[in-house]
Amino acid sequence: MRVIEHSDADAHLSGYDVLAGFAHQFVFDYAHLVCCHPPHADGVASALVEQGFVVLAAGPGALRGPAMPRTVLLRRQPVLARRTLVRGAVATPEKAWVDLLRETRRSDAPFDYGELGRLLRAMTDQGINQSALGSYARRVGYEDWLRAATGQQPPDGAAQVQLAAGYAA
């Protein structure tokens, strides 16, 4: 977090680091997720490496294999949600949840879909901004996943079934 805050880059922390407060139990050895405006990514990656982090570019299979301590998954992301879904250098829970779902799917992040559903339920119970969550999910192509998780449409596939089961638990 300090690396991001001290850089001049348009970058922010997202994913499980933001959502841990909603979890029933803390997950250790999960990669940190940093979203960064593409022109700033190389500088942020270098600063993180200097501080002893292992930086992996987000994408297909990025997290496949054994977990490594101090791993950062770096997603190059245009500043599409900067004004409303990021506070300082930290994503809002609404953005963090969608980002975590996306990386669980795209980068093979070792995160359980049922736990993602439970996180969403806890967030909902604590009054997150449903409009912001739905809007961001729609913008990045995960509206069907969100609707399946919350029972607004039937799940499509095993991962969505697990997500919905976690939400319903």
Find the largest Cα–Cα distance for the chain. 46
Calpha distance 8→14 (Å, rounded): 18
Question: What are phi and psi for residue 54, nearest 5 degrees?
Answer: -95, 120
Q: What is the pTM of this model?
A: 0.92
Burial (Cβ within 10 Å: 0-12, 13-18, ≥19) of residue 29 = exposed
- Dihedral angle sign, alpha carbons of residues 41, 47, 48, 53: positive
Calpha distance 78→41 (Å, rounded): 11
Domain boundaries, the chain: 2-168
pLDDT of residue 109: 82
Written as tens digits, the pLDDT of the chain (169 aa) is: 788 888 878 899 999 999 988 987 666 667 899 999 999 999 999 999 999 999 999 999 898 876 677 899 999 988 655 567 998 889 999 999 999 999 999 998 888 899 999 999 999 999 999 999 999 999 999 999 999 999 999 999 999 999 999 999 9
